[in-house]
Structure 1
Amino acid sequence: MQTTAEPQTRVTPAPATQDAHQQDAVIELRGVRKGYGAGDRRVQAVDGVDLVIRRGEIVALLGPNGAGKTTTLDMLLGLTDADEGTVEVLGGRPARATADGSIAAVLQTGGLLSDLTVGETVRLIASLHGRAALGRVPEVLARTDLEKIARRRVSKCSGGEQQRVKFALALVADPDVLVLDEPTAGMDVTARRNFWDVMRADADAGRTIVFATHYLEEAEQFARRTVVMNHGRVVADAPTAQLRAGLGARTVAASLPEAGAEGILSSLRDRDDVTELRVDADRLTLRAADSDAVAAVLLAAGAHDLEITAPTLETAFTALTED
């Protein structure tokens, strides 16, 4: 029997966030609201968000377009102010943290100077943060895999390479908090893997990382905690594995015995927790909330080659954001 099942854990749609008074909290949002426009055209981009993120966490911020992710990140960076509520980074105003280099970002928007080389670009930004940052340039170029193209003009770099340049610019100040908006857009598979290897090492060293992404597999593989937003609100906040396992039934597959298959199917159809049951070439597939009980029924009836697959983060994401 092969199984990839995990212990079943129930996750409520909007669990409480971490205690705001924890000493290691580096990001705190309390009752945050932000809207744009006026009258009938007013859009409530962020609608009462409470969120606490601790030092060393890697947190994925997920949600469909218009969920409020980018507006939330903009407030963390001091690029826009909340209409209501409080936003604190490292115990103070976000603008102060941005100004002193305590928080840095890799954003989708924002251009690079195309006439400069990669090395010149990184050194220029490092010079704005002082001598210590300039001394970190060789290390940053190595960590972002830019050493080989340091003399290449930015205009000659691919989209993925330019994204790595932005990553290097965020690292030169040695920030306590990194905010990433679609950080690996345009990167190839190898570059994405190297990027997240660096991020994990940074988190282990105490750096806090918050990233928004449309790559659900990235959140599943690299985020230790996932926050899902929809219509400007946090609809789920939990460890990624717990969120994945607690929402959406598991998939159960098994080969049916030659005799008694109809009886098995009949008993399964009578179960309230079984959905999407189908049979293809004597191979049964279904979804079940209580996969262990279904597995016991199948094995007792003579089914074999049983497989139980835990729901993916995509399953949980869909369940949480569908209207």
Structure 2
Amino acid sequence: MDRLQAMSVFAAVCDTGSFAAAARRLGLSPPVVTRTVSSLESHIGVRLLQRTTRSLHLTDAGTRYLDQVRRVLAEVDAAEDIARGEQERPRGRLVISAPLTFGRMHVAALLRRYLAAYPDVVAELQLNDRNVSLIEEGVDIAIRLGALGDSSLVARPLGSTRRVLVASPAYLAARGRPAAPEAIAGHDTIAFGPVHANGDWLFADPHDPARELRIAIAARLSTNSAEAAIDHARESGGLVRALHYQVAAHLATGELEVLLPEFERPPSPIHAVYPSARMLPARVRAFLDLALADGVRAY
């Protein structure tokens, strides 16, 4: 049995959801695909797939094995890239994932510079606010904001971003400027996002960095859109907490002002994450190098 071929067949079956669909993708007959997976299970000594007349389901062992298979196949693809000369010159397809607003404001501009420098690369930029599964979704690099959970991914720090409390000058002139986080209770507040809409606002105690100040808010406006929340604040709708890069342009024009900077918590890190540091194709290394050079400042 060709174990690498068997792994590829097994991954195709999982990707397509059936032996017949995997056979069509691979240009094999369905019986060959079925025998290959059965041989792989016999070789390993565990059942990887539960089969019924209508569906296939991964067993717990199959789920764990599939994750490792995808990593092995990714390494093989990288090795073949080397053989084709992609380690010397960036070429091929690069897939980047990034948070929606940060990706639109910063990663897209970085990618434009990258594509101008490397004409043999084609790129796909996926913007969404969920943590994608890099290997399963074919993503080369993901940009992630905030603390990273335990992961087998490689992480490279790019910079950091502050979470700031802001309001418009007109709102502050009418309602006053809060002198401490506790004073927020007397103000209109704006919340956005699934976490912030119903959660407390957290601040740091400048006299005791280990102490956390937790302020309960009852938002006048809650929304799942950062842009809508920030626009409402610009129109004197109240106080809003946002990441600095989301409001930087409005701070520069004076439409918004930062409040209580001495109570800000430590900045949130920004990382580039990718599956493996071994045998990186040149197109991936070149983008990382550009991102690292660009990301030394805080956003």
- TM-score normalized with structure 1 length: 0.25
Q: Which has the higher helix share?
A: 2
